[in-house]
Structures are given as C-alpha cells and as structure tokens.
Amino acid sequence: MSSSVGGGSAGGGGADIASLLEKAKDLDLLKKDQDDIVVEINKIHKKVLASPEMVDKSVDAILLKLRGLYARAKELSENEISASNALIGLLDGLLQSGASTAQKKKIEVGEQKKKRIKSDTDSARFSAASMRNQLDQAASLKGEQVAARVKSDDEKDEWFVVKVIHFDKETKEYEVLDEEPGDDEESTQKKYKLPMSYIIPFPKKGDPSSAPDFGQGRQVLAVYPGTTALYRATVASHRKRKSDDYILEFDDDEEDGSLPQRAVPFYRVVALPEGHRQ
C-alpha cells in the first residue's frame, strides 16, 4: 500500500503547483480508503481464525465478501499507481522547466564568457600583431639615421643623430653608432645600446608627403644647423609645402636678446618627446 503524500511545493508556474497539490490530496484519499479496506479484511481474517466453525456455516458468504474487499483493494492500488504516475509527470515537468531556465541562464552566462574570452583574445591578438609590426619596423631601420637619446641625467636629455647598426627583437634594443662625436670624445666613433623608447625615426627625405606637418607655434625636436645634436625648438612660421624647410626658433639660442630664426630641413625635425628635459 502507499505512504501518505501531503501538500508540497515546487518551482514552476502557479497552475502547475496547484495541480500538484490537488493530485497529492487525491493520493491521500486513496491511501485512507486503502487503509479502511485493510481494516475490514483483517477483521474477517481474525473472525475466521477465532471461529473456524463459522467458516463451515457461511463459507460462500465470507469468501464472496473477501473477494469483494480484495477486488476493491486492487482497484485502489491501481488508482494509486495512476495518481502517483500523474504526480511524477507533474514533478518531471516542473523540474524540466526549472532545468531549462537554469540551462538557459547557464548558456547565457557561457555566451557572455565566450564573448569576453573572444574580446580578450582579439585584444591579445591585436596587441601581439601590433608588437610584431613595431618590431618589424624597428628592424627595418638598419642602416638608417635616427634621432637617439644617448645621454640622460637628472637635469637634461641629450639627443644626437646616430646610425642604426642592428636591432635585437629579443631584447628590443637598438645598437647604434654615433658617426660624428664631439671634439671632447675619446674616439672618433662610439656605439650605444638603446631601448626602443630612446629612438625616433626621421621622416623619409625622398617622401615629404609621409612626414608629419607641425604647425606654427608647435614645439618640436630638431637638428641644430651645422651639428648632429637635436634641441627643442618652436615652429616660427607656416610652411606652404611639406617639402619646405621649417623655420625654427631654438630654445636658449639667444643672440643680442632675441631668438634667431633658423631653417631646418623637414627630414631633420621630429615630434618633441613627452617629458623632454633640456
């Protein structure tokens, strides 16, 4: 026989829960009816055991009554199975609904995670591609003259025109040669190993269109005429063509209380590095 099933609760729609509770109530009533049948059957069994002579007198009536009770018990058991199956079906539906919601949420979270991973991967790929591009560009400067910060202390940075001998992609360092050191240098030429941030490529002499165009009033870093040293200067006038020389006023270049204006080829002028000290 069945055990009692009381009113419960489950996740899902309100109508499904109400139907679940109704089915559970039906199952409780079936159990009560089954218990009543068992009591009746047990009473007859006890009478038969206590008074065997009674069986001899009314055997047909007793057997018919027992048969009816057992038939009813069987019917109630079958009804119990049907009610239990209905309850199982409802519970499976509710569980499936909850699982679907959870699965949908899991899928949404998974998709968001995939998007984040894809975004991170794309960013990483872009960063890696950008770095490879920078390294390739650095390596392509071999044999070229560039602006290099070869000396630096707490007070000022010193920039000179040097020639790139080699670029090491592993250490990301340039090996450069100062082809025209000053008179106070011990040797005629000196080599340096410098990080990428210490090197600024010059514009291509034969390609003015690709060179940056610094407007009037803009501060730049430029080669001082007649030397290989670069100093901070201010663009003094507007150029008509990108191939024209810049007219510059160099800092600390006073003559008779004013700054003279000096012409510098466009391919010897670069952007002023951030934080430059002079």
Identify the pLDDT of residue 242.
94
Identify the pLDDT of residue 156.
86
Identify the pLDDT of residue 3.
44
pTM, rounded to two decimals: 0.53
Angle between the N-to-C axes of helices 59-139 and 14-50, in degrees from 0 to 180, rounded to the nearest 10: 150
Identify which of 237, 227, 221, 229 has the alpha carbon closest to the alpha carbon of residue 270: 221
**What is the helix, strand, coil percentage profile of the chain, to 5?**
50, 20, 30
- The DSSP call for residue 258 is B
Identify the pLDDT of residue 233.
97
Identify the pLDDT of residue 123.
63
- The DSSP call for residue 220 is E
Identify the pLDDT of residue 7.
43
Paired residues of 173 in beta bridges? 168, 195
278 residues of the chain, pLDDT tens digit each: 444 444 444 444 566 778 778 878 888 888 888 888 888 888 888 877 777 666 666 777 878 888 888 888 888 888 888 888 887 877 877 777 765 566 666 667 767 776 777 666 666 666 778 888 889 999 999 999 999 999 877 778 999 999 999 999 999 999 999 988 766 555 578 899 999 999 999 999 999 998 999 999 999 999 999 999 999 999 999 999 999 999 999 998 988 888 999 999 999 999 999 988 87
- The DSSP call for residue 209 is G
Identify the pLDDT of residue 239.
94
Identify the pLDDT of residue 229.
95
Long-range interactions of 207-213: CB distance < 8 A, separation 24+: 208/241, 208/242, 208/243, 208/266, 208/267, 209/242, 211/242, 211/266, 211/267, 212/270, 212/271, 213/239, 213/242
Identify the pLDDT of residue 9.
42
